[in-house]
Amino acid sequence: MKHTLTVIFNARILTPDGWIENGSLLINDGKIAQIADSEIHAEDEGKEIRRVDAGGGLLLPGFIDIHVHGGGGYDAMLGSAEHIQGMCRFHASNGTTSLLATTLTATHEEIITALECAGQLIKTGHEPDGANLLGVHLEGPFLNAARCGAQNPADLRDPSIEEFDAFWEASQGTIKLMTIAPELSHAEEVIRYAVSKGVVISLGHTDADFATMRRATEWGATQVTHLFNGMRSLHHREPGAAGGALMLDQLAVELICDGIHVHPGLIKWAFDIKPEGKVLLITDSMCAAGCPDGEYLLGKLPVIMKQGKVYLKQEDGTEGGLAGSSLTMIEALANAVKFTGMDIAELVPALTIHPAEQIGVSHSKGTIEPGKDADLIIVNEQFQVCQTFVLGNRVYASEGLCLDDLDRERRDLT
């Protein structure tokens, strides 16, 4: 079998040391082999040389979405390989090269089914045709009914080590992140136990006060789920969960950067006051992302998407609370540039290396450096994803944009 070397050239490459203008990059066996400030002329008699013209576009590390329920009509909770792979393909077309399939509050059996499916896909492995499934984000059922948002209140319950163990076994040990309300009964013992298994603990859907948030960091919590949403708000006499998220430097915070879930001014403020590396942009997108406006289901709950906003459908058909998002990671980046005034290079780490560090994969993902996985995207000035590479495989190419030489040849022949 003849293997392939890939050379991406004519690119503006974002590296940890800054931009390389008119740069090129060599991919070999799924890894970044070389980066140069001029065109790389690769030669290998045993390998086919594939050349990709980036058209002067930005070559960025692929996005890592650690909180995503679905997209493109696909839903991680349905316990179907087709659905998980479908959402991975959809999000790859929007710049995501790795993700955590995120669950919802549901019955024990429904969560088990979803976890078994995700765990099996991860453990069996396959050549990716979309974003790489890195693991699971267990969001629910250990959440507070007072702050449940679009999580089904009928299925909420207190944490237990026994149920967490069942989830862990079903996932084949692939739970990387768990959202939990720290004020619930037995939360401390479950948090400590999950941390001992290597699970990152994110505090969310919580009515915790500031003191409880601080105690939770002592138990091992290091993250906060979708800051400002699904939590006790900031008050000048009681900072609450939101205040704790902002004031406790050891906590990284997720942000849904769509301008709907969080005011643009607060997004800028979070970047201003949190330490470097502690703001993580996520989508929290559900199955309707990338689909037409209309009615959908989030778990068992009916929702409506209208002009990109997803909300719970009330019994009388009126608009209820927010129910996830229709956001994509490339949109999150574009919005963050607009909302904060920061440079792209300053913001990309919030979608790449910082989530990679949070879930323990920064040794192989999150930046463009020799030896790391070739998880890469080519983006134009209009924040459109032109091509997406996962482990060196091109899993997405936008028709008519950034076509490589082989694509041009095929077009000429037709």
Catalytic positions are: 284
C-beta atoms surrounding 371 within 10 Å: 9
The reply to whether omega before 153 is within 30° of 0 (cis) is no
Cβ(358)–Cβ(252) under 8 Å? yes
C-beta atoms surrounding 33 within 10 Å: 19
Cβ(323)–Cβ(299) under 8 Å? no
Mode of pairing for the β-strands spanning 393-397 and 70-71: unpaired
Q: What does the alpha-carbon distance between residue 297 and residue 288 come to, in Å, rounded to a whole number? A: 9
Report which of 84, 132, 111 is spatially closest to residue 179, judged by C-alpha positions.
111
- The structure tokens 């037995």 sit at 186
Q: What is the DSSP string of 49-103?
A: EEEEE-TT-EEEEPEEEEEE-EETTEEGGG--HHHHHHHHHHHHTTTEEEEEEE-
Cβ(151)–Cβ(322) under 8 Å? no
Would you report the helix, strand and coil content of the chain in percent, each value rounded to 5? 30, 30, 40
